[in-house]
Amino acid sequence: MGRWGIVTLAAAAAVVTACSPSVADDATEDETTASTTRTPRITDDSGRPPVTFDPCYDIPDDVMDAAGYDAAKKELADMPMGTYTFLGCAYEGTLSIPGVLARYDLNVLSGNVTLEEEYDKNGHVAVSTSINGRSALLEVDPGNVETCRYVLETDFGIAIFSRLYQKDHSGPVPQSEWCDGFEQTVSTIEPSIQN
């Protein structure tokens, strides 16, 4: 598993808290109207660009609800690493098909590593693609069972969409089904990414 894969697992395993208003949300009305760009909640000392897409705050709840995820239960995890930063948000899926599918869970991470760095780490499981014209990677790692990942290029680095298929039946889910319908979900969310 690549280093960013470990970052994804660490985000899922990190102590998370329910989303609460950020410091930027406490700004006065004058401050809000003067600037439409939120100051990043976390920065690092790497010299890399600040992460300007905050999944828990920048993806509208109605978009996530329409995509089949419960935005009311989203959770965030910040990961300042010193040499790079990841901001994450975890969503539980609402779709349930008894005997077939309990739900999909989704982690969205944005980080200030480049798409090239991601490819250098996980190129053995990645295929180049694009989402709404944005350069991306599709990653299906046989060692990361029932998970499908899209990694999208941004001005500050990357946004990672990692979906876990939560089955409610015994036996494995065929690898050919891990990504079913996920490209459309990511395409629907992608316009929320600034730059």
- Residue pLDDT, tens place only, 110-151: 999 999 999 999 999 999 999 999 999 999 999 998 999 999
Tokens of 141: 């790692």
Question: Is pLDDT of 29 > 70?
Answer: no
pTM: 0.77
Share above pLDDT 70 across residues of the chain, in percent, rounded to a whole number: 70
Which residues, including other chains, have CB under 8 Å from residue 69's CB and lie 6 or more apart? 91, 92, 93, 94, 104, 106
